[in-house]
Structure 1
Amino acid sequence: MKTIGLIGGISWESTVTYYQMLNRAVRARLGGLHSARVILNSVEFKEVADYQSAGDWDSACRIMVEAAQSIERGGADCLLIGANTMHKCAEAITAAVDIPLIHIADVTAAAIKEAGCKKPLLLATRYTMEQDFYRGHLASRHGVNAVVPDDDARTVVHDIIYNELCQGIVTPLAKEKYLNIIADAVQNGCDGVIFGCTEIGLLLTPDDVSIPAFDTAHLHAEAAVDFALS
Structure 2
Amino acid sequence: MAQLAPSTNSTVSVRMKHIGIVAHSAEGSSLCYLEICHRGSSELGEHMHPEVTMSVIPMGASLADWELESLQPIRARLLLSAKRLKAAGCDFFICPDNTAHLALESAGRELPLPGLHIADVVVSEAVRKGYLKLGILGTTWTMSKSMYYEAARRRNIVAISPNYEDSDYIHNTIFSELCNGVVKETTRQKYFDIIGRLKKDGCNAVVLGCTEIPLLISAEQSPLPILDSTRLLAHYALKVALGQKHVPIWRGGDFKNAVDQ
Deviation track 1:101-157 (CA, whole Å, cap 9, x = no partner) reads 1111111011111111111100010000001233223323x3332110111110011
- Give the whole-Å Cα distance in 1 for the aligned partners of 2:195 and 2:147: 23
Residues matched between the structures, number: 228
Contact kept? 1:68, 1:93, Cα under 8 Å: no
- Give the whole-Å Cα distance in 1 for the aligned partners of 2:51 and 2:30: 15
Contact kept? 1:118, 1:191, Cα under 8 Å: yes
- Give the whole-Å Cα distance in 2 for the aligned partners of 1:93 and 1:78: 20
Contact kept? 2:101, 2:117, Cα under 8 Å: yes
Give the match for residue 151 of structure 1.
164
1:57-206 aligned within 5 A: 57-91=71-105, 95-140=109-154, 142-206=155-219
Paired letter, 1:221: A
Deviation track 1:157-214 (CA, whole Å, cap 9, x = no partner) reads 1111011100111100110110000111111211110000000000011111232211
SS in 1 for 2:55: strand
Structural RMSD (CA): 1.5
SS in 1 for 2:22: strand
Give the match for residue 221 of structure 1.
234
Give the match for residue 251 of structure 2.
none
Using the size of structure 1 for normalisation, the TM-score is: 0.94
- Structure label with greater radius of gyration: 2
Contact kept? 1:64, 1:93, Cα under 8 Å: no
Query: CA, structure 1 residues 173+201, in 2 after alignment: closer, same or farther (shift >3 Å)?
Result: same
Name whichever structure is richer in helix by fraction.
1
Report runs of 4+ in structure 1 exceeding 3 Å deviation.
91-95
Percent identity at matched positions?
A: 26
Instruction: Choose from 26, 42, 54 the match for 2:40.
Output: 26
Paired letter, 1:124: G
Using the size of structure 2 for normalisation, the TM-score is: 0.83
- Give the whole-Å Cα distance in 1 for the aligned partners of 2:47 and 2:107: 33
Query: CA, structure 1 residues 90+50, in 2 after alignment: closer, same or farther (shift >3 Å)?
Result: same
Give the match for residue 21 of structure 2.
6
Structure 1 portions without partners, runs of 5+: none
Contact kept? 1:6, 1:80, Cα under 8 Å: yes
SS in 2 for 1:207: coil
Paired letter, 1:146: A
SS in 2 for 1:84: coil
Structure 2 portions without partners, runs of 5+: 1-15, 244-261
1:39 aligns with 2:53: yes
